[in-house]
Amino acid sequence: MDEESIRCRKRSSDQGADDGLSIESKKSKSMNLQKEVGLVSGVCVIVGTVIGSGIFISPKSVLANVEAVGPCLVIWTACGILAMLGALCFAELGTMITKSGGEYPYLMEAYGPILAYLFSWISLVVTKPSSFAIICLSFAKYASAPFYPGCDPPVAVVKCLAAAAILTISLVNSLSVKLASYVQNFFTAAKMVIVVIIIVSGLVLLAKGNTQNFQNSFDGPPLSVGAISLAFYNGLWAYDGWNQLNYITEELKNPYRNLPLAIIIGIPLVTVCYTLINISYFTVMTATELLQSPAVAVTFGDRVLYPASWVVPLFVAFSAIGSANGTCFTAGRLIYVAGREGHMLKVLSYISVKRLTPAPAIIFYAAIGIIYIIPGDIETLINYFSFASWIFYGLTALGLIVMRFTRKEHERPIRVPLIIPIIVTLVSIVLVLAPIITAPELPYLYCVLFILSGLIFYVLFIHFKFSWAQKISRPITMHLQMLLEVVPPEGVTK
């Protein structure tokens, strides 16, 4: 009887130890994001994020700046080449510094914390949420258009639908990484359907002899550097997302292989699609008609696919929502990494215990995105989004050159020719300075001042770490931690 009791107690003790080990294992697992993104999902993140609303919005803006078909097509192709060169730079950086957060860890390694903080400041407050807002506003316009034939949808309807899209996408990304990946894969497949429909229709029309709009295609007014730069801004906006896979490096399976391979597959595929889509547009529309079209893709569908033209706004809406999902998926990781490094509230670096997602970061990102819906001026947002983005793209490419000399000890599974980051850096300088020199406007100054204003917050909250700021943030962190059931990732103290 005593021996049996001892054996029972021993088994109970062993089981308790095993349970404790299991709990500890689960806790350890919950402390970091998991590697759940493979090659196919990686390509879908790039293609699905890049091909969004841009190709259905930007053709008008690119053409409006160059005013001729030939230069328009050249700029679309050149934008793809530039995106590819930038992506190759990021492939070397991403396999050399395998941290999530896109440019943030690279700027930190190359220049130190101040520039990295300024990047996180401008990204989290301006560029990323404004990009999210632009895409969701585009989705809302296309999704609501069929219900208001012959006129523009009411502004209130568009903005409410865009806000609903932001909330839904954020919920999906907060619930599960796998669910967000499945959603991304589905919408990437859906958007490729409309891309193929437009391209094939255009090629058929071209084969039938609809080439009149390509005659004398380079006849137009003289081009200024400023006009070319603004055309590039709008074209590059459509390609934005070429660096998105670097935001989730820590969640990539075998990043040394899948990161560069996804880039090499994804960016050229997008470039070919964009060029052919623009050619298809010009098979049915003159330059003037394209500029007068309220929605280029819808006009194309009405002229070529009638009576099945309704598929165009439907699949364009799918395309936009897929791009918004990819943007949310990657941008949430930047907030998470910045919080982990102490450059944002610590709670933004916390991970959901049950879902293994950076839920606080995604919620914060969604809240800022909804604020940007209020003004709703898409073209203005695109111009200043691109201006701010290319400042840091250029600094990142320059950082790669700097680290070739200052960080020789780093292993580089991929090593691009030095001429590539030099080209990207020089092009970035031209893109940033040309609009300011040729057509100076106060908003560019405001954008620069806003970037530099981040230094005030850096000095107050990061450098000196005033105790009163910590006293304010501590109860906020504790309440959010309990409400959202989140814990700090490994290496971050409470």
Mean pLDDT (whole number) for 104-110: 91
- Domain boundaries along the sequence of the chain: 43-487
- Average pLDDT over every residue of 80-96: 91
**Residue 77, pLDDT score:** 92
Q: What is the mean pLDDT of the chain?
A: 79
pLDDT at residue 341 is higher than 80: no
Q: What's the full length of the chain, in residues?
A: 494
Q: Which residue has better confidence, 198 or 355?
A: 198
Residue 462 per-residue DSSP state: I
Q: Where are the beta strands (DSSP E) in 90-144?
A: none
Looking at per-residue pLDDT, the higher value among 376 and 356 belongs to: 356
Residue (of 14, 445, 438, 453) closest to 226 by Cα position: 438
Cα separation, 251 vs 31, in Å, equals 13
* Higher pLDDT among residues 204 and 251, named by residue: 204
Does 492 score more than 50 pLDDT? no
User: Would the pLDDT of 204 be above 80?
Assistant: yes
For 34-61, what is the mean pLDDT?
76
What's the pLDDT band for 469 if we cut at 50, 70, 90? low
Q: How many other β-carbons are positioned within 10 Å of the β-carbon of residue 82?
A: 22
User: Taking each helix axis from N to C terminus, what angle separates 225-239 and 54-66, rounded to the nearest 10 degrees?
Assistant: 170
* Residue 464, pLDDT score: 72
The dihedral through the CA atoms of 186, 188, 193, 194 has a sign that is positive
Predicted local distance difference test score (pLDDT) of residue 425 = 94
Is pLDDT of 317 > 80? yes
The answer to whether 351 and 33 have CB atoms below 8 angstroms apart is yes
Token pair 């079209």 in the structure block, residue? 293
In the chain, % of residues over pLDDT 70: 83
Query: What is 332-381 written as a DSSP string?
Result: HHHHHHHHHTTSS-GGGG-EETTT-S-HHHHHHHHHHHHHHHTT--HHHH
| 439-465 pLDDT, tens digit each | 777 777 777 887 888 888 888 777 776
For residue 351, give the amino acid letter.
Answer: I
pLDDT at 16: 44
Residue 484: pLDDT over 70: no
Give the integer Cα–Cα distance in Å for 39 and 254: 9
Res 378 pLDDT > 70: no
φ and ψ at residue 486, rounded to 5 degrees: -120, 155
**CATH no., domain 43-487:** 1.20.1740.10
Between CA 421 and CA 88 the distance in angstroms is 9
